[in-house]
Structures are given as structure tokens and as C-alpha cells.
Amino acid sequence: MHAQQRAIVYLGAVGYRLDTRSLEPPCCIWNLPSAQQTEQVVQFSFAFGNSGNSDTKRLVVSTQCVRKGPPAQPEEPFSLFKWDDNEARPLTIAPKQTVIVRGGAGCTLTQDEVFDFRMGIVHLYVVGEARYGDRFDEGRPFVTQFAFEMSVLAGEDDLSKFSASGLAVGRHNCTDDDCESQ
């Protein structure tokens, strides 16, 4: 009965949006402030859902976007993931609900980086882990792990046309006991 009621966290989607960030201002002339310079960037986000019938307890999520150049492509992309307590975000997800989390370390891409990914010069992996409990099995920790290789489909010349898709790679697209056996 508990298995039917417990919280089950999953990664529902990897999304992205166009954003603007400030650049370091150039040196001032005659001590007058110069105009603020900005650049467009792509910011990744992650949609985590709870398909269970109870809310999550002690949920913490850590996501990373890792760049890897050839020829050293990882055999197991999840091995690129390093849990960092300082980057992990505490959350609560109600039953049958989804929350959007901004990407963690390395999940903001510049125009030059998008070009490198599109040309295959560098590969982009989005990896992460959710650790949580629920009200039925208070002492038992649960985990969801994921690893996707992102393919940039468009936008290398104009970020307003950016498009990407992800392919699950490796053995660590799993939950709970399946992750433990990896």
C-alpha cells in the first residue's frame, strides 16, 4: 500500500530560455560612467515532478551542465556529476505537481558556446540528482539520477532562434533501487 502512496520524483523535462546578462563595464573616460553592456545567453532549467500520492520530504536537487571536448567523451556521462551541498536546492513537491528549477553550475551558455556545441567541437551534458524522502518511509532515502547529452539544433548565429534537444545517455537515468544497482 505504501508503494502506491509514496512520493516518486522524476525529471519531466529539460527546458531553456533566452536571457540577458550584464558584462563587466569598460573603463570609464573622465570618470563618467559608461553605458551598461549586456549579452544574450541561454539559461537551462529543469522540470521535476512528483508522480506519487504524497508530498516530498527533505528534497534536495542538484543540477549541472558539463562541457566535454573530444576526444575524451565519457563512457558514463553521470560520472561528470559531482554533488555539491552548496549548489543543492531544497524543495518540496506536492503530489502530482511539477516545479521548475533553474539550471545549476555551467547551465548558462553564451553565443560562442552555442556555436561550439552546434559544430560538435564541445559536447554538453546535463546531469543531476534529486535526494528525498516521504511521509511513509521516513528513514529511507530515495534518489533520482539523470544524464542527458544535449544537441543544439539551431541558434548558433542568432540566439533568439535557439533550439536544443536532449538524449538520455548512460546507465544513470534511474530512480531508487535501480540507481543503487548501477
List, for residues 103-151, the tens digit of each pLDDT value: 888 899 998 999 999 888 899 999 999 999 888 777 788 999 999 999 9
Cβ pair 56, 92 in contact under 8 A:
yes
**Model confidence at 181, in pLDDT bands (50, 70, 90)?**
low
Alpha carbon 16 to chain centroid distance?
A: 10
Kindly report the pTM of this predicted structure: 0.84
Q: Is the pLDDT of residue 100 over 70?
A: yes
As beta bridge partners, residue 163 has 154
Q: What is the pLDDT of residues 59-68, one digit of tens each?
A: 999 999 999 8
Is residue 93 classed exposed, middle or buried when 0-12, 13-18 and 19+ CB atoms within 10 A define those classes? buried
Q: Is the peptide bond before 33 cis (omega within 30 degrees of 0)?
A: no
